Chains A and B, each alone.
Chain A
Amino acid sequence: MITTIVLVFIFFSLTGVPIAFALGLAGMAGILVGGFPMVQLSGKIVHSIDNFPLMAIPLFILAGELMSRGGVMQRVIDIANAIVGRIRGGLGVATVMAAMGISGISGTAVSDAAALGGSLGPALTKAYGRSYGASLVASASNLGPIIPPSAGMILYAYLAEDVSVGALFVSGVIPGVILGLATILLVLYQAHRRQFPISENPFDFRNLLQALARGWAVVLMPFIVIGGIVGGAFTATEGAAIAVAYALVLGFATRELKLADLAPALLKSAITTAIVGALIGFASQVTYLFTAEMVGVAIAEWIQGLTTSPMMFVFIVMVLLVLVGIPIEANASFIMLVPILAPIATSYGIDPIYFGLLFVFNITLGGITPPVGAQLFVASSIWRVSMGEMMGDLMPFIILQYCVMFILMFFPAVITFLPRLLGY
C-alpha cells in the first residue's frame, strides 16, 4: 500500500498535478489498495482543517496584507533609510533593515518581498540595476518566516505537535538577526567591490526622529503581539487577531487604509490560506495511512541503523531539505516531511525547538532557489527579470544564507538560548 501511495504521488506530481491533489490521489489509491472506506477521504479533510491554532495563519497574512495595502509598511522602510544614511551600498543595507522590521509584522516571505519590491523597487533599480535589486529583495524577504511572527512556524508546530508556537517564535529572533547582519555585511562587501553609488541622503538625526515619530506605532506592533504570545498572555491565534485589529486601527488612523482596500485584502488572504489548507486537507489521508502502517517508525529504525549520532541525523535532514526545497514549494515540504521527521528527531533526543527552527530556516531558504522559489516569482515579476538573469547576483546570497544555516546547526545554544531564558 505504501509503495502504491508513493508511486501515485510521484507520478502525478511529475505530470503536473498540483501537489495537494497529487497527495489526494495518492490517499485515494491507498484507500483502494488498503480496503479502507472511501468516506474517510472527505472526513479527514474537514478534521485536519478544523483546528483552532491554524486560524492564526490567515490572520497574520491578513494583518500583513492590510499593513501593505495601507502603505503603513512604508513607514518602517523610511526608518531604515533614515538610520543608514550616506554610505556606499546604503540603500541595500536599508533594504535588509526594512526587511527585518517588516518581518515582525507579516508572517510570510512572499508578502515581505511584495512590500519591499513595491516600495523600494524603483530606487534599487536606479542604484544597482534590476537583477541585483530583485535578488536582494528576494533574499532579504527570507527574514520574514524566520523573525516572528511566521506562518511556517505555526504550520510546523501544528504538524510536529511537540513544540509550541511561542517557543518557535522566540527561537527565531537571534538567528533572524544573525542572518540579517550577515546579509548586510555581504551587501557592504559587494558595494565596495562593485563600486555601488553612495546613498544620496546623509545621516540626519532630525530625519531619523521624524521617521520614528511617523513609524513608532508600526514598530511597536511586533513587540505587543509577539510579546503577548511568548509571555503566555494570549494564544497565537488571539495574537494574530490582535495584529489584524492593530493593522486596521493604524491603517484608518493614519488614513492610509481605505474601506475599498478591505475586500481585496480579505479575498487574497483567503485564497493564500486555501492553498496551504488544500495541502493540509488532502495530505491528511496519506498521513493517516503512513501512521497506520508505522512508516515513521520504519524510517526512524532505518536512519538509526545508519547513524546513532544526533548531529549526523540533523545534518542528513538538512541536506535532504536543501534537496527537497529546490523542486518543492515550502508549505508542501512542511506537510510531507514534518510528521515523519519531527518524531524521529525526538527519538534521537534532539531539542524540538532547535530542530523546528532549523527545519523552518532551511525550508524558507528554498524560497530563493529556482525553479519554484516563491520569493523569486514575486521579485522576478515585479522587476520583469527572468530567474536566469538573476542567478549571477542571487547566488552569493543563496550561498551565504545556507552557510549561516549550517553554522547555526553546529551551535544549538544560539537557537535555544532565548527560549530557555523565557522558560520554554
Chain B
Amino acid sequence: MQPPNPSPEPVSSPAWLRVYDRLLLAVDTVIGYVVTVAMAALAFVLILQVFFRYVLNDSLEWGNDVPRLAFIMVVVLSIPLAFRFNGHVGMDVDLTRFKFISKAALHRFNAVFMLVLFAVVAYYAVQLAGKTWDQMMPGLNVSVGMFYLSLAVGQAHCCLHVCRILITGMLPEHDEALEA
C-alpha cells in the first residue's frame, strides 16, 4: 500500500511541527492499513456469502455481521484520511475576495468549529461504546460497541488533522490522484 502523501509543510516550519506531521503521517499510515484490511474483509466476506448462498445453498452465520462491522469501520476511519487529500466536498465560494478576510484566518475559524464538532461526536461515541459494550452482534461474538469505538477513533483522528489546520492556517493540497 502506498502511504498517503505527507502534508504540505513550509520549508521553515518549526521542529515541533515537523514532529507533529511525522506523527500524523504515522497515524494516517496505520489507519490506512486498517481501512485496507476492512475493505478487503467487506468484499471478501460478501463474495463468500454469495458463494455459500447460491452455490452451496447455505448461509454463513457471521456473513452479515462481518461486512456490517467492516463497512462502518471503512467509512468512519476513512473520513480523516480524506482530510489528508482535501477530498471532502464543499461549496466553491471564495470569501477571501473580501480584503478584510485572510485565507489563514478563515481556515482557522472553520477549524475551531470542526474541532468542536469532532470532539463532541468522539466524546459521545465513547459513551455509547461503553453503554453498548455488553451487547453482542447476532452472528458474531463481537460487541456492538465496536461501531461506536471506531467512530470515536475516526473522530479523534479528524481532530488531529483539524488541529494542523488550526496551527498552520493551511489546508492540505487537493490530491488529484484521488480524483483520477
- A residues near B (Cβ < 8 Å) are 12-22, 24-25, 28, 38-39, 41-43, 45-46, 49-50, 52, 54-55, 58-59, 62, 110, 114, 117-118, 233-234, 237-238, 240-242, 244-245, 262-264, 266-275, 277-279, 281, 327-329, 331-332, 371-372, 374, 377-378, 381-382
How many A-B pairs have beta carbons closer than 8 Å: the answer is 204
- Classify the secondary structure of A's interface with B: helix
Interface residue? B121 (CB, 8 A) = yes
Interface residue? B71 (CB, 8 A) = yes
With a CB–CB cut-off of 8 A, which chain B residues contact A45? 76, 121, 151
With a CB–CB cut-off of 8 A, which chain A residues contact B38? 270
17 contacting pairs across A/B (C-beta < 8 A):
A12-B110, A15-B95, A16-B107, A39-B127, A45-B151, A46-B147, A55-B71, A59-B43, A62-B39, A238-B50, A238-B53, A264-B1, A266-B36, A267-B35, A267-B36, A270-B35, A374-B179
Check if A332 sits within 8 Å of B89, measured CB to CB.
yes
Partner of A234, one of B54, B74, B88: B54
CB distance from A358 to the nearest CB of B (A): 23
Which residue, of B39, B91, B151, has the highest number of chain A Cβ atoms within 10 A?
Answer: B91
Check if B79 sits within 8 Å of A278, measured CB to CB.
yes
Which residue, of A16, A17, A114, A262, has the highest number of chain B Cβ atoms within 10 A?
Answer: A16
Check if B89 sits within 8 Å of A12, measured CB to CB.
no
Check if B121 sits within 8 Å of A41, measured CB to CB.
yes
The range of chain B's interface size is 35 or more
Interface residue? B40 (CB, 8 A) = yes
Instruction: Across the interface, name the chain A residue whose C-beta is closest to B53.
Output: A238
Give the complex CA separation of A101 and B132 in angstroms: 47
Check if A271 sits within 8 Å of B151, measured CB to CB.
no
CB distance from B1 to the nearest CB of A (A): 4
Instruction: Across the interface, name the chain A residue whose C-beta is closest to B1.
Output: A263
Check if A49 sits within 8 Å of B71, measured CB to CB.
yes
Give the complex CA separation of A274 and B178 in angstroms: 13
Give the complex CA separation of A339 and B114 in angstroms: 25
Q: Would A328 and B91 be within 8 Å (CB), given that A17-B114, A267-B1 are in contact? A: yes
